[in-house]
Amino acid sequence: MMINEGTSAVVSFTTDEASTAIALGSGDVPVLATPKIVALAEAAAVAALAGALPEGTTSVGTSIAIDHLAPTRVGGTVIADATITAIDDRRVSFAVKVTEADTVVARGTHVRFIVDRARFLGA
């Protein structure tokens, strides 16, 4: 594997009605929902591993811990950043952060495992 500590990737997202707490059932306010923040953090981690995994493998998320610290209104753009902090055989750990301009919206940790795609899918 060519996975290195310190490798990072970002994804951006503009909050829309479909990504609010109301739409996703995680609350009753029209702001970016925590489940969407989790999905963005995972997407950034997947992007950080893109091109580095051996052929026939993929990564699967096994844990995530997120502190959702500030609201993002519809129309607000957030940047999710995932940085590899540790590699232990097939276990890859990340620090994740979501920001809107200068505001930290969320931060936490995420772990992904490298798996054989066919074996994982039972093929």
Per-residue confidence (pLDDT) for residue 60, from 0 to 100: 98
Residue 115: beta bridge partners? 58
Per-residue confidence (pLDDT) for residue 2, from 0 to 100: 85
Strands 77-88 and 103-116: unpaired
Do 103 and 70 contact (CB within 8 A), yes or no?
A: yes
Sequence spans of domains, the chain: 8-120
Per-residue confidence (pLDDT) for residue 123, from 0 to 100: 66
Residue 16 structure tokens: 């829309």
Residue 75 CB partners (closer than 8 Å, separation 6+): 14, 15
Q: What is the pTM of this model?
A: 0.95
CATH of 8-120, one of 3.40.50.720, 3.30.70.2740, 3.40.190.10, 3.10.129.10: 3.10.129.10
Nearest to 40 by CA among 106, 86, 91, 113: 106
For residues 105 and 12, give the distance between their C-alpha atoms in angstroms, rounded to a whole number: 13
User: What's the average pLDDT block by block, 10 residues per block, for the chain (123 residues)?
Assistant: 91 98 98 98 98 95 98 98 97 98 98 96 83
